[in-house]
Every structure is written in structure tokens, then in C-alpha cells.
């Protein structure tokens, strides 16, 4: 436990680092589960006989690294673990990825309808502005926690059959591929930027307005480099992290 024994002042390891590693170990072994409050600076100071400056440095690093978060006038709490989203570097369905991580996925279809292409969608899909598109608007969960809201647009003249499918349980990419080999998404180009949650996104993702979100825009390409899918996705910044692998050219 955190206070089982004093820190070792005889070794050349900074006390703040020893404390940081001890708190981190307690988080990882479940002694301090997500949402729980950790001891105050005063309690740690009294129990371990170290300065508040040392304690503050350890806690600040854990906050910066995302293990803890502070609430003014209430204390320091353990953060919920972030989900490592590696879809940025490979094509994998949301359900497959969440299940691979040991969690239960769920998809809520907010809208499946026909709409008109605005300029960004038209440019991405190489269509005229106002062209009819299929709009698939979804909210996706892991273990009942909303992670992302996304809007996906596809040409109606080629993908109208999607209106007959249930995307609460079906995969969009698998449905496209099953319908025709020509509709299989072969590669995707994605861009990412940081945005703040507006009122609608905050409600959908169960965060406070102004909370940080990660905003992805994606274009999926089918056979012969034809753009078939344009998506806009907003991920909770507090529950997601993204992994990429970079290799030399």
C-alpha cells in the first residue's frame, strides 16, 4: 500500500520519482480505481515524512501523463483509462477493435437517411455540391461509455442499398465489401485536429461543453482510387489515445 513503508532516502533515486512510481503501482493494481480520490498532500506528507514540494512534483507528473486529474476544492482523482485506438494506422472495424481490447462495443444509429452534399463532402467525394448522399450518423460505445460520434457520407447512386441495413449490429466496411468487390474500402486518408465540444457533442459524449475532443476527417477509397466514403468523427479526449508507427523512408 501507499503508506506501508517510507521512501528510501539512501538511494540515488529522487523521492518524487519514488512516490510517483508508488502511486502509479497502486493505480495499476486497483487499490485506487478510476474515479477514486488519492490521499491529500498533507496526508502523504505526514505519513511519509517528505516535503509538499516533492509530493506536488510527483502528482503533477501523473496529472500531465493522464493518470490523475484535479478538481478544485475537492482533491485529486484517478482518471479512467484511455482506450488505445490504433485504427489510425490500419483498417479494422470498431467492434473488432473494442472486443480485442476486452471491452463490449455498442453502436447507436442516430440517423440513416438521404441528404445533400455540402462543399466539403462534395469535394472529398468528387461530386457536385448538392448531390444526393447517404448519411449514416452513429454514436459508439465501449463498456457503455460513449467514445465517439461520427457522420459518414456515401454517394446515394452507388450506395443506396445501405438504407436497408441495420448498422447497430452490422459493419459498414463489411457491408460495402459484401455488396461488391468494387465497393471495398482499400485505403483511408485521415486528418486529425483538436477541437472543443459544443453543446450537442457534449450531450452525445457525456462530457462538459468545452471539453477537448479529437476531430478526424477521413476519406475512404475503393477500387481505382475512387473516393467512396467521407467521414467526420469526434472522439472524447479523456478516453481515447491514438497510436501510430513511423518508419524511415
pLDDT above 90: residue 248: no
| pLDDT at residue number 249 | 63
- Cβ distance 1 to 27 under 8 Å? no
pLDDT for res 59: 94
Whole-number average pLDDT of the chain: 89
User: What's residue 114's pLDDT?
Assistant: 98
Distance of CA 65 to the CA centre of its chain: 16
Of the pLDDT bands very low, low, confident and very high (cuts 50, 70, 90), residue 34 is confident
Max alpha carbon distance in the chain (Å)? Answer: 74
Threshold 0.75, pTM exceeds: no
Residue 190's nearest CA partner among 139, 242, 239, 226 is 242
Which domains does the chain possess?
15-78 (1.10.10.10), 83-242 (3.40.1410.10)
Go through the chain and tell me how many residues it has: 249
At 106-123, the pLDDT tens digits run 999 999 999 999 999 999
Q: Please name the residue that has the C-alpha cell 485506487.
A: 32
Strand, coil or helix: 1: coil
The whole-number average pLDDT for the span 203-209 is: 93
Q: Contact, 217 vs 186, CB < 8 A?
A: no
- Give the pLDDT score at 94: 79
In the predicted model, is pLDDT for residue 88 greater than 60? Answer: no
Amino acid at each position: 500500500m501507499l503508506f506501508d513503508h517510507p521512501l528510501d532516502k539512501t538511494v540515488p533515486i529522487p523521492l518524487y520519482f519514488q512516490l510517483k512510481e508508488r502511486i502509479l503501482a497502486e493505480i495499476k493494481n486497483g487499490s485506487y480505481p478510476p474515479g477514486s480520490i488519492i490521499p491529500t498532500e498533507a496526508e502523504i506528507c505526514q505519513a511519509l515524512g517528505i516535503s509538499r514540494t516533492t509530493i506536488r512534483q510527483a502528482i503533477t507528473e501523473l496529472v500531465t501523463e493522464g493518470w490523475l486529474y484535479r478538481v478544485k476544492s475537492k482533491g485529486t482523482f484517478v482518471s479512467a483509462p484511455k482506450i488505445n485506438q490504433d485504427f489510425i494506422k490500419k483498417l479494422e472495424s470498431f467492434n473488432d477493435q473494442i472486443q480485442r481490447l476486452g471491452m463490449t462495443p455498442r453502436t447507436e444509429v442516430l440517423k440513416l437517411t438521404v441528404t445533400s452534399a455540402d462543399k466539403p463532402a462534395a469535394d472529398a467525394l468528387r461530386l457536385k455540391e448538392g448531390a444526393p448522399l447517404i448519411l449514416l450518423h452513429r454514436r459508439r460505445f465501449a463498456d457503455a461509455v460513449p467514445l465517439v460520434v461520427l457522420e459518414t457520407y456515401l454517394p446515394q447512386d452507388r450506395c443506396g442499398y445501405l438504407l436497408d441495413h441495420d448498422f447497430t449490429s452490422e459493419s459498414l466496411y463489411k457491408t460495402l465489401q459484401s455488396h461488391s468487390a468494387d465497393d471495398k474500402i482499400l485505403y483511408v486518408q485521415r486528418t486529425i485536429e483538436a477541437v472543443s465540444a459544443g453543446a450537442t457533442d457534449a450531450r452525445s459524449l457525456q462530457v462538459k461543453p468545452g471539453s477537448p475532443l479529437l476531430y478526424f476527417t477521413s476519406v475512404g477509397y475503393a477500387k481505382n482510387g475512387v473516393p467512396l466514403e467521407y467521414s467526420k468523427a469526434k472522439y472524447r479526449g479523456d478516453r481515447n489515445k491514438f497510436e501510430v508507427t513511423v518508419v524511415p523512408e
